[in-house]
Structure 1
């Protein structure tokens, strides 16, 4: 995995955690976040 891609994944995870805390509506955000991270990781892996 490229360093930039790894950084983006970490930032996305941190942003999702923050949004989950602030909005206090965990289920949908966590689900979307997991899908986003899965897609990003898949794209990074296949490049």
Structure 2
């Protein structure tokens, strides 16, 4: 279970970083919009608070 969860998180981080880099290369540096689209990260941030 834990290994699958870690693998999913790694894939999510990889996808997120590639999306950020692609947008950066395209010249669209509006990172807040990217964070708004990825609703996966919000629950983790709320949980840490």
**Structure having the larger proportion of residues in helix:** 1
Highest CA radius of gyration, 1 or 2?
2
- TM value normalised by structure 1: 0.55
Q: Map 1:19-38; keep pairs closer than 5 Å.
A: 19-24=19-24, 25-33=30-38, 35-37=39-41, 38=44
Q: Over aligned residues, Cα RMSD in angstroms?
A: 2.7
How many residues are matched?
Answer: 39
Q: Which runs of 5+ in 2 are unaligned?
A: 25-29
| 4+ aligned runs moved over 2 Å, structure 1 | 24-28, 30-33
Q: Tell me the distance in 2 between the aligned counterparts of 1:8 and 1:17.
A: 14
- Residue 32 of structure 1 and its aligned partner are, at CA, apart by 4.5
Structure number with higher relative contact order (C-alpha < 8 Å, ≥ 6 residues apart): 1
Q: Which runs of 5+ in 1 are unaligned?
A: 43-47
